[in-house]
Structure 1
């Protein structure tokens, strides 16, 4: 009798737990997404094309188009590396909202090759867990407004004029306000050579805030980042041997972005950024946050950047986007070497969606980059893309 009673109690407990579990996950939603995209690109570099494994051969990155005079100027690349895959799981657990998001694509790796198989490793784009108002993981920086980016066949589309960075963070969202601490990383410029120095000794997280708001059908965002630039290590400065550095400076940046409906379905998108010591947050780290001077001190680099993009719908299936983007850095007199200073680009495309998941398009991109020493590089790229969204 005792055994039967014990078995009965265990059975009732198991049923209760099963019922609670079933109820907790009753609102579970799981979904897969992403797209398959193929690009056909013909690129002309005015001072010689970079090698096959250069990032510039995958998409436009300011600072990568100065080229190699030992190679020809025009190259053709076919790729499907922008193809991406994501998985989302959303649950309602006892009145709390829990969400998991994971996304991969195949950019930036040079482990494959164009000779035989073009086998490229997946890379992590996003991996986040959201619990009510809290988000933890790797995703777009809070300083960036991805909703304001123009529609382009190139991966970024307005590379000089936008924050574009994914990194580890902890974010709290309250209505239109977002506050976050994010991964710190300092990049510096050698005063003598203009070369990049990456600090491995950051310990104070970057602090970021953003406010999203609307006015009628238009949407806007204002964002700010405050960061500590830190280096505490021995590095080679100016090619004159090792120098022991223990320096820090503050950097900051502000950004204003918007999406404004114009006529019919047309939209105007824009962004304006300013910073001092903002470095890697803007233009894919085209300029660094500060210059390491001859005495080892840090002189912060200020910059202004932005873009304007107009989207016009010719019909319900045809549309075009025209975008101009620019970046300008202002260096202290301590810089003697040649470093990235200014960059601008323009692109225009024609896109056709015969059915909603499919986009076929053609785009022309022109870009110009210039260094403080006067060297410059130009890129003209024509590309055709086929995209199917899952």
Structure 2
């Protein structure tokens, strides 16, 4: 047997196997290619169907638009332009000005064991009846006059933003429930023109109270003014203003000049130093009134804030609340003497948690013992040697828009003299009392 035959036979078998496997591979590849071609054909068909649907929709929309245009042409409808005001919740854009509305609905109630006139619910410490004469006691009072409405405006210009504010409540007039302007001003860059908080008698450092007028030692004063702010650095600025204090006892020739330095001591402390000069005039005389003030606000620890405010004023009663008349005149309208006084208020507010907070406060005002001033008074019972009030309150806010408060205040005034009749008979003591419990409910928006 030839030795090469087995080898040739093996080679032949191997070649046949290789050809067989190659055939199978070609068959499998052909089958795979056929499936891919079929899948691609289906995808192309689906794309054609989508394009056909889209073309149909476009045709329908075009027909609808032509119908609307035809109708507009027949009825001569004007071209619609964008509205000049678009609503944004409690804000809107009017023309080029952004407007934001805010305010509250506020209900106040008070039980007065002793206090002032029944016609007014809020603080009357400087005029509460003296003991034994026409005392106003055991009274319930309520009002919604402190309800407030406001709007802030801002317009962007090439020279910077122009802003403004209008805010009103219903505390105007002796009988209340009369609309009055609280704030109305325009500001541009570092200038402000209009009515807002006095630059001298600011409420920033008064301890919190339920009483809408605050308590003795502080000042709640809004005046027409023109003022300018100079920023020295991020922590310090100087505000200078010309103000009309609306002093009915004086014939104003010049506006009052006020200045205030604000300084941020740290992230938890701030202070201000203030000064005021004001010309007081009668038909026959004039006198220069002046005053200084200082305020401090300090967060002693997270949630605990201390506030203090101090004033020393001579010859003026138009800026600091509950002061005696700034000056007295004789029958010839000559200014005989001026009143000089010191006042201070201090308080501590504790935020117990997000819903509860409370404040303890004390205020005091003392007039200088100027005998010329005292002797010139036509009625010594209407001017006070000193005033003081102490109060405590608690506020509860179950949810952000709502706030409820309860407060107790006790205070006294000591007059320069009692009430006397035409025969000089003494009708009263020299001390009056303010003893009240007040409550408030506020919905803010």
TM-score (norm 1): 0.79
What's the counterpart of residue 266 of structure 1?
304
Report the Cα offset of residue 365 of structure 1.
0.9
Q: 2:146 aligns with which of 82, 85, 102?
A: 82
Q: 2:254 aligns with which of 196, 199, 204?
A: 204
Contact in 2 for aligned 1:293/1:299 (Cα 8 Å): no
Matched, 1:150 2:207: yes
Report the Cα offset of residue 353 of structure 1.
0.8
Q: If you compute each CA radius of gyration, which structure gives the higher value, 1 or 2?
A: 2
Report the Cα offset of residue 287 of structure 1.
0.9
What's the counterpart of residue 432 of structure 2?
377
Contact in 1 for aligned 2:223/2:245 (Cα 8 Å): no
Gaps of at least 5 residues in structure 1 are 1-17, 19-23, 113-119, 188-197, 233-245
Q: How far apart, in 1, do the equivalents of 2:128 and 2:252 lie?
A: 30
* Alignment CA distance shift 1:271-1:72 (3 Å): closer
What's the counterpart of residue 400 of structure 2?
356
Matched, 1:366 2:416: no
More helix by share: 2
Q: How far apart, in 2, do the equivalents of 1:110 and 1:183 lie?
A: 21
Q: 1:173 aligns with which of 229, 252, 266?
A: 229
Matched, 1:139 2:201: no
Q: How far apart, in 2, do the equivalents of 1:362 and 1:184 lie?
A: 33
What's the counterpart of residue 127 of structure 1?
184
Q: How far apart, in 2, do the equivalents of 1:346 and 1:288 lie?
A: 24
Contact in 2 for aligned 1:291/1:300 (Cα 8 Å): yes
Relative contact order higher in (CA < 8 Å, ≥ 6 apart): 1
Q: Secondary structure at the match of 2:307?
A: strand
Contact in 1 for aligned 2:207/2:345 (Cα 8 Å): no
Report the Cα offset of residue 108 of structure 1.
4.0
Structural RMSD (CA): 2.4
Contact in 1 for aligned 2:104/2:149 (Cα 8 Å): yes
What's the counterpart of residue 36 of structure 2?
none
* Alignment CA distance shift 1:138-1:213 (3 Å): same
What's the counterpart of residue 361 of structure 2?
323
Q: Secondary structure at the match of 1:204?
A: coil
Contact in 2 for aligned 1:164/1:283 (Cα 8 Å): yes
What's the counterpart of residue 386 of structure 1?
441
Q: Deviations over 1:55-94 (max 9, x none)?
A: xx32003323126945662100121111100011111111
> How does 1:91-110 map onto structure 2 within 5 Å?
91-110=155-174
* Alignment CA distance shift 1:278-1:346 (3 Å): same
Report the Cα offset of residue 293 of structure 1.
4.8
* Mean CA deviation greater in 122-131 or 69-78: 69-78
Q: How far apart, in 2, do the equivalents of 1:91 and 1:279 lie?
A: 38
Matched, 1:60 2:129: no
* Alignment CA distance shift 1:185-1:316 (3 Å): closer
Report the count of equivalent residues. 330
Matched, 1:222 2:222: no
Q: How far apart, in 2, do the equivalents of 1:108 and 1:44 lie?
A: 26
* Alignment CA distance shift 1:291-1:76 (3 Å): same
TM-score (norm 2): 0.70
More strand by share: 1
Q: How far apart, in 1, do the equivalents of 2:171 and 2:246 lie?
A: 21
Q: Secondary structure at the match of 2:371?
A: coil
Q: Secondary structure at the match of 1:177?
A: strand
Contact in 2 for aligned 1:342/1:369 (Cα 8 Å): yes
Report the Cα offset of residue 307 of structure 1.
0.4
Q: Deviations over 1:120-167 (max 9, x none)?
A: 221111111112111111111100232222221111333x21232111
Report the Cα offset of residue 110 of structure 1.
3.9
Contact in 2 for aligned 1:145/1:257 (Cα 8 Å): no
What's the counterpart of residue 32 of structure 2?
none
* Alignment CA distance shift 1:104-1:319 (3 Å): same
